Each structure stands twice: as structure tokens, then as C-alpha cells.
Structure 1
């Protein structure tokens, strides 16, 4: 526990790509809500946005403040100051008080709230701030943020014109080590793998014993922990709740409830299917993604490169890394594109589809440094099916060369896509 405490209190901070959008939102909306999984850096970020004495800071992790929020929520809100309130999901009563305060005074930037639960999925509070707030999600560090660049990947440039990157770029080195690392700031900034493992173990324990219990009563934490492991082993796979429940030794309704709780606390994401096709039968079941490759690997019992290479999870975890980066990129945009996947009933599948302003860009992710023409069969199928709506497709790989593999299909190094090429 001493090591975990030390890691959590590292003074090193990195700039976040979401900061400019939060500042912009505070100048426009009366309530800005920054949500995301526990330990993604929300508290650090919103503290950096404080400009005393114009903002007052409260955290509901302080039990005295939490008690006041339950007993006298309206009195807790300072009338003449803008307020920053951390871990707001712990007090639905205080959210109602915020609603009442905003209805009286809708000045921009009145409240900056943060929470470790998806308020839109919490029935008790989902309607409280409707029409009054803008919601932003802070994900774990992107690969570019880990490299001290306040950005997500170069996805917009790849959507617009991948040919601009033609040429040689740095390789995506140490693939397995990268997948075992975590984007949670305390783990990402920790000095060695052993410390990261201890931190991740403490993270899971704290989530089960504290954060989860604040969302719902769970009588059998061992069962929930087993479900987490089964889900981690399935990151990037189609959601099959029957199989998941069976392998975890749970009833299907219980497995369904547990998955929803993981999604509410931002540890899981369900990637929807792109289901626009008039002539072919499409699979519409979502795919399951963990929020962080390091956490997924740890839950799956994989803590070494040797274990990862034997596990068969290098490909799925690489897809998880890419999807996580895409979600972070999308969050920083005003007009957010849809991040989807595509699969035919025949089994043909494209890992990711970006749908933006009537354009669809299919993306395949390959854990190879030498992409081949045989790797692009499903991209070709997608491009043929969607014609002008799909101007080009992308094959992401770990090698050096950005080049055209075929008509309308570009091989792009992951170092470019993830913003690591300088």
C-alpha cells in the first residue's frame, strides 16, 4: 500500500488534450461535467483549471463534505462563486441542488463537476441536468499524451487525406511492453513494471470494495471479480452474454447487470455495429472493449511479455489500444463522429469504422510490421459495398512505411495514427 500511495502522489503531470475543450465549454455552458473512470486524472485536471478566488473547490471524497451534501445540499453551494465539485456521482441530492441553482442563474461556467460514473447511465440522476450541462469524458492517457504531447492520434488527418503521410516513419517499437503498460496516470508514470502491477492490483481492489458499492449493492465480490476477468479476456470480441455468464458461473441476468455496472463506471465500452447495408445481412451485436490495455491484461492474469505472447491476446489488445485512442480523439471534437465496427453474417469484418459527416472510413489493425495485400480483403469488400461514401480505407501496422497498398487503401504505421512520429 505504501508503494501505491507513493505512485498516486507523483508530482509529474502531463498536459491533456481535453483541456482546451473544457475551457471553451466553461465559457459557454452553466454546467460542465467531466466524467471518466477512477484515476484517469480528472481531479488533477479540474484543479489545474481552478482560478482562485473565483472558483471554490469541494470533493465528495471528503466524508464531512459528503454528509453536508446529503443533509443540506442547497446550503453547500456558494451563491456568488463559481464552483468545482469532484466525485459528484456520490450525491444525487447535490446534483438536484445544482439543477435548482442553475435554474436561478445560468451564467457560463457556474459549475465544473467531475465524476467516476457515467451519469447518463445512472437512472437516479440521468435527467437531473438535462439541457443544462455539457458532458466530457476523460479517458486514460493516449499514447501521444504519454509522450508528453497534449493530443490523441492523427485520426482527422487520416480521415481527410492519408496520402500526406506517404514515406518512412518511426516503427511502433516494443509492442507487447506497450500493451502491458497502462494509460491510468499513476501507473503510466510509475518507474517500473512491478510497481505498475501493484498499483493495478490496488486499483481493482479499491474499485470492488469502494467505487462499485457506491453504484450498486454487490453481495458476492468474488463473482464480480471473476466476471471482470472473463470480460478482460474478451476485449475486442463480440458481446455474448450467454457465454460470458456460463464461463463466469453466473446467471445471464446477473452477468448483464455486472456488465452494465462496468460500463457505468467507464471500465468497459460497447462498440456499436455499422449496420447500413440494403443487400447483405449484417451482425448488429456490439463488441466489448476494456478502457485500458494494461488493466485488461492484468485482470486476465497477464503481467509479462512472455505470458502475453502465449495468450493470443496481442491482436485484441492492440485493437483495444486503437479504439481507446479513437474514443479520446472523438471526445475532443465539437462535432463527434461515430466510432463503429462492421461485420457480415458470413464472418467478414472490419475492426473499426469512423463515420463522420456522411463519410465512412474502414480501418483494419494488424500486429505486423509487414502488411500484405492479403490483409486488405475485408477493406476491399467494405469499399466496394459503400462506394463514394467510403473514399479510402486504412490498414494500421507496426512497421515504418506509409504507402498505398491498393486502390483507395493505405497502409499507415501505428506511430503515425497514434501521434508518436514527432
Structure 2
């Protein structure tokens, strides 16, 4: 089991650990990507047999060798872990050559703080040689020591009529979602740091490191104040539709620059764009994606907000969904649905032919009217649509009608 030690010596497992081990038994290379400080290095160090060689490209000597002679860096037949490979994408070509000479399951474990498949400088995708995993910030269940990412798989597997029973069986661990949003999911502020002042210091250092070092490794940015203003503007628009022209107008940047900056944030796993569900139906649909942030704690810090909003509860649900989606082998899509007449559903989980709509409300007393768009969605999509899930900030677990189950967010996350 992959573990992280906090100051109380408790053991916190990561949800992807089991899946990572399974993929390493099959593929010659496994790539674990995610934002800085999500725990990739800790996960990688604890994975595989003892004696596995560990090399980090954050080490300047290792980075220099990766640039001068990458084949020597990966030479040998023993298993090796290469940490932060985005710092020298050319090393992937050397990994490919080594795999082609001798295909050995689990030979290479690679980690990166950027989406290698989205980086322009990466010409080698290791297609057919590597399996890709994403490590998102810690879920609430991981922070509680359960090593899970919520009850999504149980809900997908169960009949709609059994959902209430499935969620009633989940641990009764009531919590304030605002406190969780302020902590976020990066292991240090979420688990190790105990107060808002300490977390502010950590988030400030994180933002500076990203702007002054990591961002420059991805793309040369001369106007860092402009980029920081964009990050703040995006954080203030969590849960809203992407409008690059309006965003640029508000902060004084041209649309092409806004587009480029958003792409860099997405490549760094800090920005998340949720695509629109776009099957043509009787009503005209909005096709723009919605903007969210990879970590709510960092988003609140960058925006200068001390009190989370309802959109941050949506963001917490999305973070749990992403951790679940990206660790499972079966394909699943996380989308949103919105029409020009005002009907909207925060998230739509698409698996095969089935659609599971999820609405998130920060209210502590859900009412039937809060689920009206779930009913509209189900009417629009007929047999493909399952019953809807209304996640709220209260304690009631009950059917609001045949089309929607109201459930406390902490029963699912």
C-alpha cells in the first residue's frame, strides 16, 4: 500500500495506488501526471520492489545528464523511476528505445507535473508502451485515511432504486464543506498544516514557485503580472462558462493571449475545463465548457476569498469525480448540460449508453424545485438518463420524487 505520513503518524493511502501497481504488472512504462505537490513523488517512491532506482530531474546533475546523454540515464535492465520528466521531454525518446530493446513490465515509472500529451515540446507519446494515470489532489476520503474517492462506483453499479440504501451504508462522517474547500487537497495544507495562516503561507509559496519556475519550463512568459491577473480572474469565475473574449476584456489581455494562458494552466493540471454534453435534442444547448480549478484551497487563495461560495462545493464534487474517473479502466466522461433557456445540470457522468446527472446545491434543506432541472434532463434524454443525484449541504437522504435522490455531499464524497 502506498502511504503518506502526517504529523500524527497516521497512514493515508491513495486511491490510485492499487491501479498503479496493476498497470505496472502489464505495461513496460507507466506515467503518473498531476499538478505539483499532489504526492506523485511519494507515490512513486513507495511503488514497486525494493532496490528500484529513483532519479529526479529536479536534481540538476540528473537533469544535465538527461539533456546530454539520456540513453545513459535509462541504461541497464533494472526498474527505474524518473521523477518530473516534463523538465526534459527528450528523455522519453530514450525510454522508448530502451523499451523497444527489451520489453519488461514495470521497467519505467515516470512522473510529471504537466500533461505530457498536451505539451508542444513532447514529440514522443510512448504509444503502445505506456499507460497513463493522473494523480489529483487528495480526496476527502483519502484525507480521512480511507484511500477512496467517494461512492461513485457503487452508485454506477447499483440500480437507481437501491441508491438510498447504498448511500445510507456509507460512513456517517458529517463535515463542513467550507472547511474542506479552504484546506483543498494538496497533502501539505490539507493534512499537515493546521490553520489558515499556515496554509496562506504555503499557497503563496506554491503560486510563486509555479509562476517563477514551473511555468517558465513549459513556456516563456515575460509578463508574469498579467498571468497572475488571469489566474485570479479564472478563480473568481469558478463554475462559469468559458468566454475568453470577455475574460480578456476584463483583465486587459487579447483573446489569443487568454487562450494561450488557459492552455498552460490546463497543461499544469491547475485549470479544469468541463466540456458540454452536446447531443442534439429539442432545446438549443450551450456548447462552451465550464471552468473549475484543480484545487479549491489554491483557488480561494489566488482569488483572495476567505469564504467559499456554492461554486466551490461544485468544485469539490468535480475533484472527487476526476479522481474516480482517471483511476478506473472503463471509460467515463464528466460533462455539464446547459440550455439557452436556463435549464442546467452541473455534471453529467456518461458511461457507455448511460447518463447520470448530478446537481450540486449549497442549501441545507433541499426541496423538489432544486431538482427540477434533473427532471428536465431525464425527460430530454429518455431511457439513457438514470435518476438524478442532488448533492446538498444538509443531512437529509431522501427521494424527492422518482427522478431525483437528495443526498448529503459527505455521503458521496
Same fold (TM over 0.5): yes
What residue number does 1:403 align with? 398
Distance 1:414 1:58 in 2: 40
Q: Which moved more, 1:107-116 or 1:118-127?
A: 118-127
Write the mapping of 1:80-99 to structure 2, written as runs, cut at 5 A: 80-99=77-96
1:393 counterpart = 2:388: yes
Contact 1:166 1:401 in 2 (8 A): no
Whole-angstrom CA distance in 1 between matches of 2:45 and 2:58: 15
Cα distance in 2 for partners of 1:12, 1:172 equals 20
Q: Does 1:216 align with 2:219?
A: yes
Where does residue 19 of structure 2 map in the other structure?
21
Equivalent residue in structure 2 for 1:32, among 19, 30, 33:
30
In 2, distance between residues paired with 1:126 and 1:399? Answer: 49
More displaced, 70-79 or 18-27? 70-79
- C-alpha separation in 1, matches of 2:271 and 2:172: 31
Counterpart secondary structure, 1:323:
helix
Counterpart contact for 1:269–1:290, Cα < 8 Å:
yes
Instruction: Tell me whether 392-401 or 107-116 shows the greater mean CA deviation.
Output: 392-401
Instruction: Give the drift of 1:76.
Output: 1.1
How many residues in Structure 1 have an aligned counterpart in Structure 2? 403
Secondary structure of 1:334's counterpart equals coil
Equivalent residue number for residue 335 of structure 1: 330
2:361 is aligned with 1:366 = yes
- 2:298 aligned residue: 295
| Offset at residue 395 of structure 1 (A) | 0.5
| Partners of 2:86 and 2:7 in 1: CA distance | 23
Quick one: structure 1 residues 249 and 11, their matched pair in 2 at CA, closer, same or farther if it must change by over 3 Å?
farther
Q: 1:126 to 1:316 in 2, by over 3 A?
A: farther
When the two chains are superposed, the root-mean-square deviation of aligned CA atoms in Å is 1.8
User: In 1, distance between residues paired with 2:183 and 2:317?
Assistant: 14
Q: CA deviation at 1:416?
A: 1.1
Whole-Å separation in 2 of the counterparts to 1:78 and 1:50: 19
Q: Name stretches of at least 5 consecutive residues in structure 1 with no aligned partner.
A: 1-6
SS of the equivalent of 1:51 reads: coil
Segment drifting more, 284-293 vs 396-405: 396-405
The corresponding residue for 1:192 is 195
SS at match of 1:401: coil
Q: Separation in 1 of the partners of 2:337 and 2:407?
A: 20
User: Is contact 1:167–1:401 with CA below 8 Å preserved after alignment?
Assistant: no
1:407 Cα deviation (Å)?
Answer: 1.3
- Of 139, 149, 152, 1:152 maps to 149
Relative contact order (alpha carbons < 8 A, sep ≥ 6): 1 or 2 greater?
1
- Aligned-partner Cα distance in 2 for 1:10–1:75: 41
Number of the residue aligned with 2:262: 259
Per-residue CA distance 1:107-149 (angstroms, 9 max, x = gap): 1111000000000101221543122111100000001011111
**How far apart are 1:191 and its partner, in Å?**
2.1
* Kept in 1: contact 2:181–2:296 (CA 8 A): yes
| CA deviations over 1:13-46 (Å, ceiling 9, x no partner) | 5210000000000000011000000000000000
Task: After TM superposition, give the deviation of residue 166 of structure 1 in Å.
Answer: 6.5
Match runs of 1:307-318 below 5 Å: 308=307, 314-318=309-313
Q: Give the corresponding residue for 2:184.
A: 182
Provide the C-alpha distance between the structure 2 equivalents of 1:45 and 1:374, rounded to a whole number of angstroms: 44
Distance 2:6 2:210 in 1: 15
Report the Cα distance in structure 1 between the residues aligned to 2:167 and 2:222, rounded to whole angstroms. 55
Q: Per-residue deviation at 1:336? A: 2.6
- Distance in 2 (alpha carbons) for counterparts of 1:108 and 1:224: 41
Indicate conservation of the 8 Å contact 1:171/1:415, yes or no.
yes
Q: In the alignment, which residue of structure 1 is the partner of 2:131?
A: 134
Following the alignment from structure 1 to structure 2, what is the Cα–Cα distance between the partners of residues 376 and 156? Answer: 22
* Residues 251/122 of structure 1: CA separation in 2 closer, same or farther (3 Å cut): same
SS in 2 for 1:92: coil
Distance 1:171 1:110, change over 3 A: closer
Alignment of 1:269-308 (within 5 A): 269-302=272-305, 304=306, 308=307
Whether the 8 Å contact between 1:230 and 1:300 is mirrored in structure 2 is: yes
Question: Is 2:165 the partner of 1:164?
Answer: yes
Cα distance in 1 for partners of 2:320, 2:396 equals 21
Q: Are 1:243 and 2:238 counterparts?
A: no
Q: Secondary structure at the match of 1:238?
A: coil
